[in-house]
Amino acid sequence: MKGLTICPTPLGNLSDISKRQLETLQNADIILCEDTRSTGKLLERLEIRRIDGVPLLWSYHDHNESQRLVSIMESLSEGKKVVLVSDAGTPTISDPGFRVVAQARLEGFPVVALPGPVAAMVALSASGLPSDRVLFEGFLPAKRGERKKRLLSAKESAATVLLYESPKRLRALLEDIGEIFEESPIVVGRELTKKFESYYSGTAKEVLLKLPDPVKGECVVVISKTSKQVDHVDAKKLVHQLAKAGVNPKSIRSVVREHYGVSKKDIFNWLEELKS
């Protein structure tokens, strides 16, 4: 169809391509992609012939999107079939693309999204961890201080947390998870849908010991919500209530730890919040 189509591509296994995705790529006038070389190779492997250079492959990423938007909107106004893809998985999910979708909608062009793979959902499905409430955080900041702030905030959500991470930074991330989430179960999925797909489960400290050296391939980290996490908000409320009632800190720590199993460090921080 004319307009903008968001078209997922396989995470790694070409057999996962759907008939509708294949037809969309075959019939495109322009394909917006992160890397024209990668997408060109994908089209070759899918046996999609480019006749006289059509479909055109346009690079579209964080560094050139402001310049590309004008040309993309002009193409849509000419009735061209424009397809947005990512190197693997579903575009706009921790991936460039949402701005072109927003602009196309703003200017009244048709926008359709095809169903397809999302690495975070694949890992969650295979993790065996609770999925009734989920927080998707994508890639966390590279700086440790900022990363730990995001992890602390995620812990407060009382949800199962989904993260993306590069193989080079995975160990550093797991060290922070072990410090903040302590004994919470986690699952790390690596090379999802590919030949060397692997899953590692346990606490963050246990998973660190199980990982190969070096780690290869993009990773998804799933952190389980636990009964302790679910009770975290209530535990904090109880600390504040007892402190305001004049109960001494030692008794507060004893009572709250017995009922909720939270750490001494958490209780100390909550008491400090009241002082400030």
Q: What confidence score (pLDDT) does residue 231 get? A: 66
Which DSSP string corresponds to 203-232?
-HHHHHHHS-SS--S-EEEEE---HHHHTH
Instruction: With a cut of 50, list the residues of the chain below it in pLDDT.
Output: none
For residue 243, what are the contacts with CB-CB under 8 A and spacing of at least 6? 249, 252, 271, 274
| CATH (residue range 119-226) | 3.30.950.10
Q: 42-79: per-residue pLDDT in tens?
A: 999 999 999 998 999 999 988 888 889 999 999 999 99
Q: 95-115: per-residue pLDDT in tens?
A: 878 999 999 999 999 999 999
Q: What confidence score (pLDDT) does residue 183 get? A: 86
Average pLDDT score over the chain:
92
Q: What confidence score (pLDDT) does residue 229 get? A: 58
Q: Is domain 3-113 classified as CATH 3.40.1010.10?
A: yes
Maximum alpha-carbon separation in the chain: 80
Q: What confidence score (pLDDT) does residue 4 get? A: 98
